[in-house]
Amino acid sequence: MDDRKLRKLIGDVKGGRLSRRGFLRHMAAVGLAAPLANQLLAFGGVAMAETKYDYKPTKAGGGGALRVLWWQGPTLLNPHFAVGTKDQDASRIFYEPLAAWDPEGNLIPILAAEIPSRENGGLSADGLSVTWKLKKDVTWHDGKPFTADDCVFNWEYGRDPASAAVTIGTYKDVKVEKVDSHAVKVIFPKPTPFWADAFVGIRGSLIPKHLFEPYKGAKSREAPTNLKPVGTGPYTFVDFKPGDIVLGKRNEKYHRENRPYFDTIEMKGGGDAVSAARAVLQTGEFDYAWNMQVEDSVLKKLEEGGKGKIEITEGGNIEHIQLNNTDPWTEVDGERSSLKTKHPFLTEPAVREALNLLVDRGSVQKYIYGRTGIATANFVNNPPKYRSPNTKFEFSVEKAIKLLEDAGWKKGGDGIRTKDGKRLKVVYQTSINQPRQKTQAIVKQACQKAGIEVELKSITASVFFSSDVANPDTYPHFYTDLQMYTTTMPQPDPELFLNQFCSWEASSKANKWQGRNITRWQNAEYDETYKAAQKELDPVKRAALFIKCNDLVIKHRVVIPVVARPRVSASGTKLTARLSGWDNDLWAVADWYRGA
């Protein structure tokens, strides 16, 4: 799909010949996630829509206590330091961003008065800046007004390397200017079609300038407010014990009408996922539990208790298998999987295609993940409404055998195929996690039928996912032929996501295995397309280039997607929790209520 066709589609939406949903479905099929597709429409002059949410309570308060259970306890309450989702969620009770992502990838104003668009003058035509108008009469929990100075301060705080904030990636390249007391301008170094990163969503929560200013930079750790948050959010701070509990009570001056419904909120941490599911689904001690990493069959059994239900939220996580393009078994200059080597057979298209046919995604979903892992052939994840009906996956041992036969791989005496003295034997690694070991077994079985020998390797998660330079078993080292894990796409813009296939990002000893291209796939056409997209001024052309990047990855079978991993949580039968796969679980905690 080139930019002309894209432009025509956007025109169709504007002219009413194509529905917004239809457009998003088209985009999803070619690898653009819903939030970016929505932003494209905004550039084309089609304002963002808000997914309808039915909020029933007619007054704030009176809902009693909201009790939520996170089986990993939150450890800190400063959104700029929040590494894990548990900390981001806990901070979100007290702090808010300017805007947040709803389940369909639309931006919803929170502290912003409106979403910037071309019509309201928020978006500049050249893509070099975006102006946010802030809501007036919003106050911090201590009564001080929320103004544009606070936004500017958050930018300074986040981008200062000495603060050691995790939001540095969001703020380091942009510039933020105060326009007036209730408007800020975010200026980009180059035309940026994806303008909604700073001050938006997970990393966009804002902290008050008047309390954090003395603690910017190297003293960031000492701020007393790190542990006693003062935000603009629906609940004010009561108590916090790291790793155990966060307590809040209703913010009576909350800036959104009739919200929040609950009088107090309690977020309890610790324990394990199964008992957390029990506490919601079976005993009803808690209203909501996060991240149910529990086998679906167990969840189904617990649901029979009738006290709660399982909520599945589509998001951006994909369990996928990576194919090594370099030779993991030859050491060159002190490293294996060196860029100077080439994998003896995994670089052969026929072998890659055959492996793709040998992953029985249907069975993986049916027998292992159930509702918690949906078989997919697409590397770009998307809400089910937009999932293209055309993408399909196939499992066929016969076709795989035929492909290998045609490519000259003949079965030897031991049933394993060989060609030019090379044996089709792969080592397939993943982290220790029951569903992953079961998936490994399913793949191994199919491969053996097709004459590929598979040796399975499982590594403790804390080693596999570490950035330890000295340990050869981490996933960035990739010292085996195949490996499997879940990749996340927490940011809707694909630019960062797609750089994991660029040649210069290849993980190697030289960059201490910090490069993001783990498969070491190197393709000149991809690199050029990606670079062109980075430089592209026109958002539509840029989107078209990203679509091409995605096509190249799929065409060359750089990775084999297995299942999409939606977010799974448990909530009480009466609780209405507004969830979004593009933001934190508690992104809209002000909208939660308990109905009859």
Q: Least Å distance between CB 227 and another protein? A: 7
Binding segment toward another protein, per CB under 8 A, in 13-21, 260-268, 342-350, 581-589:
260-268
Q: Least Å distance between CB 468 and another protein? A: 6
Q: Does 242 bind another protein (CB under 8 A)?
A: yes
Q: Least Å distance between CB 164 and another protein? A: 5
Measured from the CB atom, the residue of 337 and 491 that comes closer to another protein is 491
Q: Does 130 bind another protein (CB under 8 A)?
A: no
Measured from the CB atom, the residue of 324 and 500 that comes closer to another protein is 500
Residue 462 CA: distances (Å) to CA of 127, 253, 307, 487: 41, 44, 35, 16
Say whether the peptide bond before residue 260 is cis (omega within 30 degrees of 0): yes
Q: Least Å distance between CB 513 and another protein? A: 10
Q: Least Å distance between CB 272 and another protein? A: 7
Q: Does 247 bind another protein (CB under 8 A)?
A: yes
Position among 256, 425, 516, 557 found at the interface with another protein (CB under 8 A) = 516
Residues 418-457 that bind another protein (CB under 8 A): none
Measured from the CB atom, the residue of 267 and 397 that comes closer to another protein is 267
- Dist CA 200 CA 187 (whole Å): 15
Position among 19, 51, 471, 534 found at the interface with another protein (CB under 8 A) = 471
Listed residue (394, 339, 343) closest to 561, CA to CA: 394
Residues in contact with 448: Cβ distance below 8 Å, sequence separation at least 6, in sequence order: 415, 454
Q: Does 258 bind another protein (CB under 8 A)?
A: no
Helix 20-29 with 34-43: angle, nearest 10 deg: 120
Secondary structure of 276-317 in the HEC alphabet?
Answer: HHHHHHCCCCCCEECCCCCCHHHHHHHHCCCCEEEEEECCCC
Place of tokens 């390397």: 161
What strands, in cross-sheet order, belong to the sheet with 65-70?
Answer: 235-241, 245-250, 264-269, 65-70, 288-289, 567-572, 308-313
Measured from the CB atom, the residue of 518 and 540 that comes closer to another protein is 518
Measured from the CB atom, the residue of 400 and 575 that comes closer to another protein is 575
**Would you say the C-alpha torsion 82, 85, 89, 90 has a positive or negative sign?**
negative
Place of tokens 């190197």: 522
Place of tokens 């029979």: 304
Binding segment toward another protein, per CB under 8 A, in 234-242, 361-369, 445-453, 583-591:
234-242
Q: Does 168 bind another protein (CB under 8 A)?
A: yes
Position among 139, 258, 275, 347 found at the interface with another protein (CB under 8 A) = 275
What is the pattern of x (binds another protein, CB under 8 A) and - over residues 192-221? Answer: -----------x-----------------x
Residues 52-91 that bind another protein (CB under 8 A): 65, 69, 72-73, 75-76, 81, 83-84
Separation of CA 209 from chain center: 29
Query: Exposed/middle/buried for 114, CB within 10 Å: 0-12, 13-18, 19+?
Result: middle
DSSP character string of 152-196: HHHHHHHH-GGG--TTHHHHSS-EEEEEETTEEEEE-SS--S---
Position among 170, 483, 519, 529 found at the interface with another protein (CB under 8 A) = 170
Beta pairing class for 235-241 and 318-323 = unpaired
Binding segment toward another protein, per CB under 8 A, in 32-40, 48-56, 362-370, 466-474:
466-474
Measured from the CB atom, the residue of 164 and 179 that comes closer to another protein is 164
Q: Least Å distance between CB 243 and another protein? A: 5
What is the pattern of x (binds another protein, CB under 8 A) and - over residues 482-501? Answer: ------xxxx----xx--x-
HSE of 183 in the Cβ direction (CA atoms, 13 Å)? 12
Secondary structure of 8-37 in the HEC alphabet?
Answer: HHHHHHHCCCCCHHHHHHHHHHCCCCHHHH
- List the beta strands (DSSP E) in 350-466: 374-375, 410-411, 417-419, 422-423, 425-431, 453-459
Q: Is 105:99 a contact under the CB 8 Å cutoff? A: no
Position among 8, 119, 121, 161 found at the interface with another protein (CB under 8 A) = 161
Q: Least Å distance between CB 67 and another protein? A: 9
Position among 3, 177, 244, 538 found at the interface with another protein (CB under 8 A) = 244
> What does DSSP assign to residue 367?
I
Position among 51, 283, 297, 434 found at the interface with another protein (CB under 8 A) = 283
Position among 5, 126, 142, 227 found at the interface with another protein (CB under 8 A) = 227
> Cβ of 365: how many Cβ atoms within 10 Å?
20
Measured from the CB atom, the residue of 352 and 594 that comes closer to another protein is 594
Residue 432 CA: distances (Å) to CA of 85, 316, 419, 438, 457: 21, 22, 33, 10, 9
- Provide the 3-class DSSP secondary structure of residue 404: helix
Q: Does 181 bind another protein (CB under 8 A)?
A: no
Q: Least Å distance between CB 307 and another protein? A: 10
Task: List contacts with another protein (CB under 8 A).
Answer: 65, 69, 72-73, 75-76, 81, 83-84, 161, 164, 166, 168-170, 172, 203, 221, 226-227, 239, 241-245, 247, 264, 266, 268-272, 275, 278-279, 282-283, 285-286, 305, 460, 462-463, 465-468, 471, 488-491, 496-497, 500, 514, 516
